[in-house]
Structure 1
Amino acid sequence: MELLVSIVVLMGKVLLNAFTSPMFIIIYLLLLIIVAWQYRRMEDITRSLHNYTRNRYLQSALVSAALGILGGLLGSILLIFIGIDLSHLGIMYLWLAAVLLMLVNPRFLCFAYAGGILSLISLAVGYPDINIAQLMGLIAVLHMVESMLILLNGSAGPIPIYLKRSHSLRGGFNLQYFWPIPLIALMANGLADPAAGVSMPDWWPLIKDYSPFDYGRHYSLLPVLAVLGYGEICSTRTPEQRVKKSARNLFGFSIILLLLAILSSHWGQLTIIAALFSPLGHEFVIWLGMREESTSQPIYVKPPRGIMVLEVKTASPASRSGIRSRDVILSINGEPVNELYAVQQFLSCGFKELEFEILREGQRILLQLTRKPWQELGVIPVPDNTTTRYLTLDDGSLFGFTQRIGRKLKKR
């Protein structure tokens, strides 16, 4: 515990100094602006589909920033205790590979793909000269932090969407979040000064370097900025259910990759396995989510009777009355309703008080709704046959691509 406190205190000092640096602050604010802009773009999608927006993109960006600081603290502690040295990782090559992959497909802008490909190239031709075990350790830690942030924040304010898959319309939610994280990482810079710094235990680092100068090496703590992102569509589970499963799958990927990184630092024969697992394991996590979306039954579809609610607008009469997502409106003031226009007819009559019969998780309940005569109800229903604006989605994973190729070859 004393060692942990000493390291956290040093990290705090480095982070405090970083946030007094004009250049660091400018870069951090730039990342925050980019995150806010992305949230604004997602709200524009909601506006175009449903003529509704929360105008909470600035609030969402600030929440992401706060959680990013928490994630950065956890990630920094892991990086230091594992012993990840940034001087051996070829960070510039890593970013270059990630940008090139982004040009192929934006979702490949991920260190799991870039790091794996970069490591395989290094193993094949000997260039660039990087410590693959430590690079895999860095990627594992970043995804471990991402899984934690997904669990904490991944279902907050999901974006309601209409989508078409397999020629059928369904409702769903776009889960897309970004977290700017300030990290404190190690950077080797010469021989140790016995009178300065913190002495690490004999087992440290977990990922061994085995450089001839490794013993007695001195490390500095260096502030680094990064952005973690998460994006997924859910229509077969609620956002809360989807987030828990995605976070669990990603955490499992991170643990396996970290173990492979530690083992490969002791047994070099395992290095190629770690390098292959980084992109393929991450792609498998993506494929699991896409597979469930394409094979499971959607839950946001028009019921045989009534109107299912996809989303309730913030601060609306429906929100105040207690109507929730997945509620089915069966009747209003005792009159059955099966189409949205029937609800609009009731509203056009200027009723200030309405009684809704709701089907919720198999139970029928009555809710009282009070509104001003000109106020709309404030619900976004699931799509029906009259819906004309929607998104189309295909399985864009590597495994999905190979399956489509396989089906085409079988037809031939």
Structure 2
Amino acid sequence: MEAVWALLSQLGAAALHLLAQPFYYIAVLFIAWQYTRQIRLERQMFAVKLHLWPGLLLRAVVAGLVVGLAVSVVSAFIGTSLTQETVLWLWAAAAVLMVFRIRYLCFAYGAGVLALLQWVVGWTPLAESGGVFGKLAVSLASIDMPGLLLLVALLHLAEALLVRTQGDRLSTPLFLEGKRGKLIGGYALQGFWPVPLLLIVPAAGGGGASAALPWSSLLSADWTQGWTIIALPMVIGFSEMTKSMLPRDKARHASKGLLYFSIGLTAAALLAWWQPMLLPVAALCSLLLHEAMIWRSRAVEAARSPLFVNDSRGLRILGIVPGTPAEAMGLGTGETIAKVNGVRVRTKEDLHAALASNPAMCKLEVLNLSGEIKFAQRARYAGEHHQLGVILAPDDQANYYAAEGPASLLDLLRSSRTTSRWTDAAGETAADERA
């Protein structure tokens, strides 16, 4: 009973310390900002709201809490020796790297850079020099780098599961510039989750709650001075772009890459714990394997043909607006509208004219993803919105497309997400592609 009370007491103290730290709130605010930018982009391009940012943020916070609990429980049996200084080092590294590339916010890069820096500083007498730089060198040397890399691997495993289950629901349709300047449809998949961790670590200076843990740990951490629980706020996330896959297929592809990265980094971290001289190898694995995962995704996209383009068969559906007749009729992303009320349609003007030809009924002939014909129909009610509720793949009359994403933090602060195709069309939007 005394051990249980000590555990609850330590958990309570760590939770209060987590709430007192700014990092978790910074992560939540960053995620809220990203989702509001996403929704503004949707409204600018299509004049509709496909998502609601409060719901996205709430789902992210809840999922992050579940992930934090699961990773905290697993890490309790690993036996890492992380400290509060680890939080400061990791967030500082992420902040600096984000200035150069936004995607470097991922802690795989921060942990990899810190591990390399620790290894390099270890070959210098900087830790013995005293002063500010000497103290920083001592603090850096005290970080359990194999344990930190292993924690990053666990977080990417959790991220793989989140992307697999939620990735397609975090997608935004876009008009993108394809080869030779031709506009095509595509999707941006982007998700972030704030993950609060409460980690059981060896206590320093004998301030622990107990002289020993009631279970054995994987890593041989020094538990002789007791143990304590620290708060380690983290953030995980992914960002993918696809022109050739459905959002659910791209989410599966991204999830598989994250899984491979997690397995590879876990093996590298365990090797670095077994043989400390291999720490730079593990650090490079954290950096290079993550880059390889991104390269793999880009290579697959480059090798495939665009999916969301109109062709001679009809109009390709890029997206479905929630709560519209298109959703009620079971139309799906990637399908092709071939006929409307018996009339073949090849342009959005054909579609509008065919819909207007029968104000009481909407009958569609649609080609599904396998190229097979399916029929859908629905009565059109008085007072109902006149549009069908589909976002079509762009044609040559689309005036706006999504610009290439900003590379650095400075670019993000000053960039515009959309680009006008023609300077004399500045007052128009791509909402014409919504039928």
Q: Which TM-score tier does this pair reach, normalised by the shorter chain?
A: 0.7 to 0.9
Instruction: Work out whether residues 174 and 188 of structure 2, in 8 Å CA contact, stay in contact via their aligned partners in 1.
Output: yes
Q: Which residue in 2 is equivalent to 1:70?
A: 66
By how many angstroms is 1:23 displaced?
3.9
Seen in structure 2, the aligned counterparts of structure 1 residues 90 and 31 have a Cα distance that, compared at 3 Å, is closer
Give unpaired runs (5+ residues) of structure 2.
123-136, 408-435
Return the letter of the residue paired with 1:364. Answer: I
TM-score (norm 2): 0.80
Deviates more, 1:299-308 or 1:331-340: 299-308
TM-score of the two chains, using structure 1 as the length reference: 0.84
Deviation at 1:47, TM superposition (A): 1.0
Match of 1:177 in 2: 191
1:117-159 Cα distance to aligned partner (Å, 9 max, x none): 2211221222431332122112212212211211121111421
Deviation at 1:85, TM superposition (A): 2.0
Quickly say closer, same or farther: Cα 1:137–1:17, change in 2 above 3 A: same
Structure 1 distance, partners of 2:9, 2:371, is: 55
Secondary structure class of the residue paired with 2:312: coil
Q: Does 1:251 align with 2:250?
A: no
- Name the aligned partner's letter for residue 102 of structure 1: M
Paired amino acid for 1:363 = E
Aligned partner (choices 74, 80, 86) of residue 90 of structure 1: 86
Tell me whether 1:199 sits opposite 2:217 in the alignment. Answer: no
Task: Give the match for residue 372 of structure 2.
Answer: 363
Helix, strand or coil at the partner of 2:400: coil
**Mapped contact 1:172–1:310 kept (Cα < 8 A):** yes
Aligned amino acid, residue 183 of structure 2: L
Secondary structure, aligned partner of 1:199: coil
Q: Displacement, 1:364?
A: 0.9
Q: State the 1:37 CA deviation.
A: 3.0
CA distance in 2, matches of 1:328, 1:93: 51
Amino acid at match of 2:184: R
Matched, 1:376 2:387: yes
Moved more, 334-343 or 224-233: 224-233
Post-superposition CA distance 1:311-367 (Å, at most 9, x none): 110000111111111111111111111001111123345612111111112211211
Counterpart code for 1:163: L
Q: Specify the alignment match of 2:234 in structure 1.
A: 226
Question: 2:33 aligns to what?
Answer: 37
CA contact (8 A) 1:15 1:223 kept: no
The residue type equivalent to 2:386 in the other structure is: Q
2:252 is the counterpart of 1:241 = no
Q: 2:177 aligns with which of 164, 167, 188?
A: 164
Q: C-alpha offsets along residues 288-324 of structure 1, whole Å, 9 cap, x if unaligned?
A: 1112122211211112221111111000011111111
Report sequence identity in percent.
28
Q: Say how many residue pairs are matched.
A: 384
Contact 1:318 1:369 in 2 (8 A): no
Please give the alpha-carbon distance, in whole angstroms, between the structure 2 residues aligned to 1:118 and 1:31.
Answer: 21
Query: What is the distance in 2 between the residues matched to 1:157 and 1:272?
Result: 35
Cα distance, 1:285 vs structure 2: 0.6
Match of 1:390 in 2: 401
Counterparts of 1:395 and 1:236, CA distance in 2: 22
Question: Structure 1: where are the runs of 5+ without partners?
Answer: 1-5, 397-412
RMSD across aligned positions (CA): 2.9
Residues of 2 paired with 1:104 and 1:285: CA distance? 19
